[in-house]
Amino acid sequence: MAFPVHVAFIMDGNGRWAKKRGLERIEGHRKGAEVADAASHWCADLGIRYVTLYAFSTENWRRPKEEVEFLFELMLLYISSKVGSMLEEGVRMRFMGRLNELPPELGDFVFQIENKTSMGKKLDVIVALNYGGRAEIVDAVNEILKIGKEQISEEDIAMNLYLPDVPEPDLIIRTSGEERLSNFLTWQSVYSELFFTGTLWPDFTKEEFHRAVDDYSKRKRRFGALD
């Protein structure tokens, strides 16, 4: 069975999950954080090396201020509580996005967590935070322009993405029934296999994750080549 090297998750449906239960949206995010942690462990158990979690997009700033502040606070508290276990389990946590635009406390926290976990060799957990696929490409091009290049190649852009050393995702899983990428890994996803499920993210289970990986293993990836 061929396992993916890099799995990315679009964790959609926290708010709808809470609404269905008569709860505040923040409770959906709280439960969603637990599932994100579990999903990282499911990947590690299969030997998957890279996991990317779409935590906060550049468009999410349009949400109510109170919800955005809660999301950031939840991230601070939840990740802080997991640092010890990440170090024990060989997890390296990394962040990608326009991190310089984050609130100072969160920006400092991101820097500290990356440093503390930098020696992790078993699993890279990548949190897409204040991330947009188009913004990443724009930022890459602007970096290239700084050195005065007149002709820009695909290789130039690839080397100037936020995390150029991370392989492109083999499998992208999106929950909640939406079937689009929503500005996620726009450059990197061109040959990714996609798996969509109607399950809301807080209800996403290990069994469904294994179904997605099993489905992936049965696909023939051609990358534009002939059959």
Name the residues annotated as catalytic. 12, 60
106 to 103, 110, 140, 185, 226: CA distances (angstroms): 5, 6, 23, 22, 47
Q: Is the distance from CB of 37 to CB of 204 less than 8 angstroms?
A: no
Please, which pLDDT band fits residue 226 given cuts at 50, 70 and 90? low
Annotated binding residues, written as ranges, equal: 12-17, 25, 29, 57-59, 61, 63, 174, 180-182, 193
Amino acid at 39: A
Q: How far is CA 14 from the centre of its chain?
A: 15
**Percent of residues, the chain, with pLDDT higher than 70:** 98
Q: Are 107 and 99 in contact (CB under 8 A)?
A: yes
3-state secondary structure of 8: strand
Q: Which residue ranges are tagged as binding site for Mg(2+)?
A: 12, 193
**CATH class entry, domain 6-132+170-178+193-217:** alpha beta
Binding-site annotation: residue ranges for substrate: 13-17, 25, 29, 57-59, 61, 63, 174, 180-182
- For residue 149, the model assigns a pLDDT of 86
Q: What are the domain boundaries of the chain?
A: 6-132+170-178+193-217
pTM, two decimals, is 0.95
